[in-house]
């Protein structure tokens, strides 16, 4: 009895940080291991269809990091994520990682991969500054990237159109049933420049690309463009509940007034973290001489 207990392999998982958001019924926590990141959904093996989820990651070189700073990459968040993860991820569950996989990967998985490469490159603990909104006390947080809350999809379907989910929503007081695709890297690269100039246009065009079925019928072209604001808002709410991946709204407590507030991490911070800022802080003395 004792021996069996001794030999049993216990999988260790990390307790996630507390999120400011209540997760929906369509997602479940995806706990991370202390020694490596796990994708919330994963990448299907082209030969066996098996889903691979464990990432093998390395740190980016100085050359690779400086290439990410070039204007053509930096201004497109989708492309920036693709380049960052293609450089830093060696394989997913034994499957060699490349641009094709990165573009097919669903957004929630890409964002998780981004955090994994950031941890390998800049360290698992990142310093993030904030200011308490109640008493204005400056705070410095040591955020453990392995403990950022990550959620997996519960009702994901795989068919000819890709990875999809179904929603039932009340739209203009009528119940509708619709089927949507989960967005992937290729779509994120396509929508990023539109979103920079016009977030509302990006939202509508994305919806049109992702909706594959509406009340049992194919989607009429222009349905969302010509539709009312209420239509897109009602839908947006139903779709948002299915979004999975890292939740970057972390709940923190002020050490002064003890109020809780939300620390919102920006995906760009993982690519270009405060290391530049920290370097300046460290060498601040030198400059002031």
Give me the residues that bind Zn ion (CB under 5 A), please. 132, 134-135, 137, 254, 256-257
In the complex, the smallest distance separating the C-beta of residue 255 from Zn ion, rounded to whole angstroms, is 8
Q: Minimal distance in Å, beta carbon 137 to Zn ion?
A: 5
Instruction: Give counts: helices (H), strands (E), the chain.
Output: 12, 15
Give the nearer residue to Zn ion in terms of CB position, either 69 or 256: 256
Tell me the closest approach of the beta carbon of residue 21 to Zn ion, in angstroms. Answer: 21
Neighbours of 218 (CB within 10 A): 9
Residue closer to Zn ion by CB (options 58, 131) is: 131
Q: Which is nearer to Zn ion, 117 or 254 (CB)?
A: 254
Identity of the residue, 134 or 166, whose beta carbon is nearer to Zn ion in the bound complex: 134
Q: Read out DSSP for 137-163?
A: -EEEEEEEGGGS-EEEESS-EEETTEE
Rounded to the nearest whole angstrom, what is the least distance from the CB of residue 89 to Zn ion in the complex? 39
3-state secondary structure 98-139: CHHHHHHCEHHHHHHHHHHHHHHHHCCEEEEEEECCCCCCEE
One DSSP character per residue, 233-249 reads HHHHHHHHTT--EE--E
Of the two residues 134 and 198, which places its CB atom closer to Zn ion in the complex?
134
Min dist. Cβ of residue 131 to Zn ion (A)? 9
CB-CB contact of 90 with 152 (8 Å): no
């Amino acid at each position: 009895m004792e021996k069996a207990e001794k030999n049993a392999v216990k999988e260790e998982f990390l307790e996630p940080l507390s999120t400011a958001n209540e997760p929906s019924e369509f997602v479940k926590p995806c706990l991370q291991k202390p020694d490596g990141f796990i994708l919330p959904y994963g990448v299907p093996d082209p030969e066996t269809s098996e889903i691979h989820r464990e990432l093998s990651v390395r740190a980016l070189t100085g050359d690779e990091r400086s290439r990410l700073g070039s204007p053509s990459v930096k201004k497109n968040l989708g492309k920036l994520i693709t380049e960052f993860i293609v450089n830093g991820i060696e394989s997913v569950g034994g499957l060699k990682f490349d641009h094709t996989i990165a573009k097919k990967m669903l957004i929630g998985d890409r964002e998780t991969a981004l955090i994994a490469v950031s941890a390998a490159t800049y360290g698992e603990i990142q310093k993030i500054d904030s200011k308490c909104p109640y008493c204005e006390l400056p705070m410095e947080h040591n955020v453990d990237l392995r403990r950022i809350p990550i959620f997996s999809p519960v009702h994901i379907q795989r068919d000819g159109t890709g990875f999809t989910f179904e929603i039932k929503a009340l739209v203009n007081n009528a119940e509708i049933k619709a089927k949507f695709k989960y967005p992937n890297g290729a779509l994120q690269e396509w929508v990023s420049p539109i979103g920079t100039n016009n977030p509302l246009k990006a939202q509508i065009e994305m919806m049109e690309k992702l909706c594959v079925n509406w009340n049992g019928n194919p989607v009429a072209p222009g349905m969302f463009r010509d539709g009312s604001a209420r239509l897109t808002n009602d839908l947006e709410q139903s779709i948002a509940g299915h979004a999975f991946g890292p939740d970057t709204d972390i709940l923190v407590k002020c050490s002064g007034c003890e109020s809780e507030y939300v620390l919102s991490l920006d995906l760009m911070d993982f690519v270009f973290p405060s290391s530049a800022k920290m370097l300046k802080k460290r060498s601040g003395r030198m400059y002031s001489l």
